[in-house]
Amino acid sequence: MEYIYASLLLHTAKKEITEDAVKSVLSAAGVEVDEVRVKAVVAALKEVNIDEVLKNATAMPVAAAPAAAPAQEAKKEEKKEEEEKKGPSDEDVGGGLSSLFG
């Protein structure tokens, strides 16, 4: 991802996305540069209209919204597990005893 971020930073700064420029950004960020990955990213982005991709990317959060559902389900499950660990409530115990002794 850092290679894409470096490329986006260069694009936003209105700089040409070259191998040397990407390497410079990555090095400045303290990232160990992989020459093969740099070449691959730069070559792939030569055929891409980044402005168009970014313009279309604004619709992604709406499409990504269903991804939040599993996280909410996980939270519900964690809460249920915590309640089960606590054991029965005082009301549960009281109700159980009253049924024994009428």
Question: Which stretches within the chain are classed as H helix?
Answer: 2-12, 19-28, 35-45, 50-57, 60-64, 68-86, 90-101
What pLDDT sits at residue 15? 94
Supply the DSSP symbol for 31. Answer: P
**pLDDT over 60 at 62, yes or no:** no
**pLDDT over 70 at 101, yes or no:** no
* Digit-coded pLDDT (tens) for 13-53: 999 999 999 999 999 999 999 999 999 999 999 988 998 88
End-to-end alpha carbon distance in the chain: 67
Q: Which domains does the chain have, with CATH numbers?
A: 1-59 (1.10.10.1410)
**More reliable by pLDDT, 6 or 63:** 6
